[in-house]
Chain A
Amino acid sequence: MSEAVPEVPEVPWRRLDPKMLLVHPVSEVGRLAIPLLLLVFLGSGGIDGWHVAVVAIPVALGLWRYATTQFRITPEHLELREGMIGRHVTRARLDKVRTVALDAGPIHRVLSLSKVKIGTGDDNRLELNALGTAEARALRSSLLHRVEEPTLGPGLADGIVAPPVLESDEVLLRFDPRWLLLAPFTGTGLLIAAGAVGAGSGPLQEPVGNLGQRLSDRADGIPIVALVAGGGFLLGIALVVLSVAGYALTNWGFRFSRDRAGRSWHITKGLLTTTETSVDTSRVRGLSLCRPAGLRLVNGGTARALVTGLKEDDDSKSSAQIAPAAPYRLVHDVCLRIAGDDLAVDGALVEHGPRAARRQLLRPLRGVLWLVLAVAVVALSFDLPWWVALLPAVLVPLAVWAGRDRYRALGHLLTAHHLVAGEPKVSRHRNLLLRRGIIGWRVEQSFFQRRAGLVTLVATTAAGEKRYAVVDLAEDRATALAQEAVPGLVAQFLA
């Protein structure tokens, strides 16, 4: 038995790209900013030991970090050994690798380096910072396609021959600078502006105050209406500029492609920092098309793919953006091509009926009612005239529009491969969840739903939001839908 075991050669450890010797000292300066500043201030004038230390310490630490970081690819594992003082080995099983992302900030790009971030099913990820970009791409394709290329592994250690992965890929969606025109309709400008105001409110207070003072000194004689209109106009311009800039920063050069064999998807984007995300298609559990009210005005939309074991950033769940705000026609075509299920992308959704419509209409109206009550309480306690409380009532037409729009987005559809759920939201999400990706059901019924005979059927899954709801469906129809979507599961619990 024992002699049958083949000799496994010890795989040698490799270092990262030597160009990191240029990058590390710079990032060490960032890490040590405060102690280094102290050193500069401690030193007297002229070149002396203190100043030499300011240069020498980061360089030495960078060298040390480079020398102590090593990785290797054994037939089963990818191992990363690091630790400037202690030694820490992170190990990822090659067959557990779900996603590989290449990341390059401005410094990395100048030196043609890329960070390789490797995601396995669980939440911890392994990061190689950094390899040469060509080498990183080769590593990525070998990690994602290792089933087909079993010889990779030890062979990867010496002189990597980069397969022309990107050239042979089929491009599904490519960035067009005209998309920037859609950016002001996405609402990201508002978010960025709010963030900027929040971050800048402290240090900016004084200059803004001075400016206001000077403006009001000069503004004598200009009518207040003109001032407000002018301010509003400037604010509008600022929002537009911010949203376009934000959109360009994240999405410039966006490219969504797949390899010819359909094994993996590649998403590249970013103006200054470029990110290349690769997704093993066996990890994809569905799609989510989105047409928020703003983008609908200009016929735009976005789309995400639901992927297990992929955490792009902190706020998004396990999904990857496969189309940024773009003309809806293009977004829709991409979804058609990758879903391979035309009915799921295009088919009319089954409506949930008048009781569901009433619930969706009442929801925003109830919000207005609460607002009226809140304002009434304030008016009472500050001795304002009673009619102030009725002011929020001007929102009623908006609430009615929102309620109708919510119902228009609501619906469901079961196709050969997907459960399609239209979320009752003004943002119009159409979620396509692969039926084989459903890992459980929840049938939720609130007190009021119970009285209306409706339930919310939730399909749980390992990707995306992890729960996709078919809202306000009659109880028997929900049960039938669950039974049909995943055969053999619900039947045993029927009445």
Chain B
Amino acid sequence: MTTLRDPAHQVSPKARLRWTISAVLVTLVGAAVLTGVLVVSEAPLWWLWALLYVGGAASYVVTMPRLRYATHRWESTPTAVYTQTGWIGRTREIVPMSRVQTVELHQDALDRLLGLASVSVSTAAEDDLHIALLDHAVASELTASLTAAAESETGDAT
């Protein structure tokens, strides 16, 4: 039975906190919208809708970051980058080093606060490959090594 194994490394443990914060923010926005709708429409069963929403939002905030942390993994070898992402479904991506065009390191305000960073690797295909929420030191080291490896390859990677 030939199957792929998981990539070697997990993302930073702090990623769970980062995902929880964004989940809380999203559900708060959703709550505000729902409140507005319920108030304007004077729905008779408003408490039922509210209860359903709170239940759904709470389970999302609790489970999503844990499932993501369990799934998200990455690995880089001299010849390829291998990632695994998802929380309900699962996507594994493999890109040969010879096809890498650019390597980028991203960090938003929240990431900087927590000392996290994400790396994205682009090829001539449509979608980039993302390695989300590594410790900043790990991410910058990875960026440097990927850039060096990609530069040593010749050809236009199409």
Contacts and interface: CB of A to CB of B under 8 A. Distances in A.
B128 to A, nearest CB: 11
B17 to A, nearest CB: 26
Nearest to B8: A493
A490 B5 CA distance: 10
Given A439-B95, A476-B1, A492 B123 contact: no
A461 B79 CA distance: 18
B154 interface: no
B156 interface: yes
A446 B126 CA distance: 21
Nearest to A441: B94
B123 A460 contact: yes
B91 A450 contact: no
Interface in B66-117: 75, 77, 79-80, 82, 86, 88-96, 99
B77 to A, nearest CB: 6
B125 A466 contact: yes
Contacts of A489: 79-80, 94, 96
Contact of B123 (A121, A440, A443, A493): A440
Interface in A449-468: 449-450, 460-463, 466-467
A176 interface: no
B4 to A, nearest CB: 5
A475 B88 contact: no
Given A439-B125, A489-B79, A493-B5, A121 B158 contact: yes
A264 to B, nearest CB: 17
A439 B158 contact: yes
Contact of A476 (B2, B90, B92, B99): B2
A495 interface: yes
A76 interface: no
B41 interface: no
A462 B97 CA distance: 15
A193 B7 CA distance: 52
A479 interface: yes
A439 B99 contact: yes
B4 A493 contact: yes
A446 B94 CA distance: 18
A427 interface: no
A446 B89 CA distance: 4
Contact of B93 (A442, A461, A466): A442
Contacts of A486: 96
B3 interface: yes
B26 interface: no
Given A121-B156, A466-B125, A488-B79, A479 B93 contact: no
B21 interface: no
A348 interface: no
Contacts of A476: 1-3
Nearest to B98: A439
Nearest to A440: B95
B138 interface: no
B3 A462 contact: no
B75 A480 contact: no
Interface string A413-457: 000000000000000000000000101111111110110000000
A450 B88 CA distance: 10
B92 A443 contact: yes
B119 to A, nearest CB: 16
Contacts of A442: 91-93
A475 B1 CA distance: 9
Interface in B1-37: 1-5, 7
Contact of A440 (B86, B90, B93): B93
A142 interface: no
A308 interface: yes
Contacts of A121: 156, 158
A308 B80 contact: no
Contact of B124 (A308, A447, A483, A493): A308
Nearest to B95: A440
A433 to B, nearest CB: 12
B2 A440 contact: no
17 contacts: A308-B158, A439-B96, A439-B157, A440-B94, A440-B129, A442-B92, A444-B90, A461-B124, A466-B126, A467-B126, A467-B127, A475-B3, A476-B2, A479-B3, A480-B2, A493-B7, A494-B2
Instruction: Please list the 6 inter-chain residue pairs (A to B) with the smallest Cβ-Cβ separation, ordered nearest first.
Output: A462-B124, A460-B125, A462-B158, A495-B5, A439-B99, A466-B126
